[in-house]
Amino acid sequence: MQGKILTARYGVYTVFAEGKILECKPRGILRLQGQKPSVGDEAEIDPVDQTILKILPRKNVLIRPLVANLDLLIIVHSVVEPVFSSLLIDKFLTYARHQGIPPHVILTKVDRLKDRSELLLSIQRLEKLGVPVTLFSKKTGEGLQEVKDLLGGRVSALMGQTGVGKSSLLNTVAPDFKRQIGEYSQALGRGKHQTKEVILLPFGSGFVADTPGFSSLELDMTKEDAAHDFPGIGELALQCKFADCLHQDEKECAVKKAVKEGRIDVENYENYLKLINELPFRKTRY
């Protein structure tokens, strides 16, 4: 029998198979083979003794949060509390591109903005990069139907800081989920963690993963990875003279030329420079 892993906790995996929910443990041979089941995995299971026999090949896998076989990575970001950050969004987009997963940005709490002029500029920047954006408000219902359409018929994961409203969004889209909502703390400047683990929830003919929030995002990538996967910059990387160009001080850099000519937004390039300064080199340079 084949099923999809919905949750993983303390070595026990909840598997959805043929309309049933089973609690399964992996066979010891998987551990010997170095295979660790993940939420989102398609697995062969033995329904009698409720064991996972085999993990089927993955089309992709995120390490943080640990979830496999995604069709879409939904970057949830608030316009207020936590404060809007184009750098953080660009980090998410780089991560999605690096893993080969199409991204979609949902901006929450938009009802709390009195003036949307700056937000519209940010949306234009993202759409120029080919990134679709949805504005969402739990209070007014803005964007609700668009989010429902987005989640239907595919396997998606919500990813974002603590307090941006991931669980609130899910509860609004599908009240039966009853996800516990985190209270944003102004005193701490961050949200209180509520979602403790990755959980894949059935929605329509697809699934959506709710994931734990975090206060900062550290990417398991190198400078060279970012040079090729950063949105709006990676597309030009192949035109640089040097294959290992980091688009900083190198000569005949197609990216720096595009920035100078206005073909790459200055904010994009500044965010790129900030990101690679946080990352290690792939190999030691002499």
- Which CATH number goes with the domain that contains 16? 2.40.50.140
**Residue 136: per-residue pLDDT:** 97
Q: Are residues 71 and 206 in the same domain?
A: yes
DSSP state of 191: E
Residue 282 lies in a domain: no
Q: Are residues 72 and 172 in the same domain?
A: yes
Domain that holds residue 11: 2-57
Burial (CB < 10 A; 0-12, 13-18, 19+), residue 222, is: middle
- In angstroms, what CA-CA distances link 39 with 63, 73, 179? 11, 14, 18
Read off φ and ψ for residue 119, nearest 5 degrees: -65, -40
> Is the distance from CB of 94 to CB of 271 less than 8 angstroms?
no
Read off φ and ψ for residue 161, nearest 5 degrees: -60, 160
Cα-based angle 125, 128, 134 (whole degrees, multiple of 5): 70
Q: Are residues 71 and 36 in the same domain?
A: no
157, 183, 210 - which closes a domain: 210
Q: Are residues 91 and 179 in the same domain?
A: yes
**Residue 185: per-residue pLDDT:** 35
Residue 238 lies in a domain: yes
Q: Are residues 42 and 67 in the same domain?
A: no
CATH code of the domain in which 255 resides: 1.10.40.50
**Residue 186: per-residue pLDDT:** 39
The β-bridge relationship of strands 67-68 and 206-210 is unpaired
175, 210, 245 - which closes a domain: 210
Residue 9 lies in a domain: yes
**Residue 195: per-residue pLDDT:** 47
Separation CA 178–CA 195 (nearest Å): 12
**Residue 190: per-residue pLDDT:** 38
**Which residue type sits at 68?**
A
Q: Are residues 115 and 164 in the same domain?
A: yes
**Residue 176: per-residue pLDDT:** 75
**Residue 98: per-residue pLDDT:** 93
Q: Which residues of the chain have pLDDT under 70?
A: 177-196, 214-216, 283-286
Angle between helices 86-99 and 117-128 (to 10 degrees): 20
- In angstroms, what CA-CA distances link 115 with 133, 178, 180? 18, 32, 30
Number of domains in the chain: 3
What is this structure's pTM? Answer: 0.87
Separation CA 203–CA 66 (nearest Å): 20
Q: Are residues 83 and 123 in the same domain?
A: yes
Q: Are residues 205 and 67 in the same domain?
A: yes
Q: Are residues 182 and 257 in the same domain?
A: no
Q: Are residues 67 and 199 in the same domain?
A: yes
Residue with tokens 């170095």: 34
Q: Are residues 197 and 239 in the same domain?
A: no
Q: Are residues 10 and 36 in the same domain?
A: yes
In sequence order, what E strands does 88-191 have? Answer: 103-108, 133-135, 155-159, 184-185, 190-191
**Which residue type sits at 207?**
F
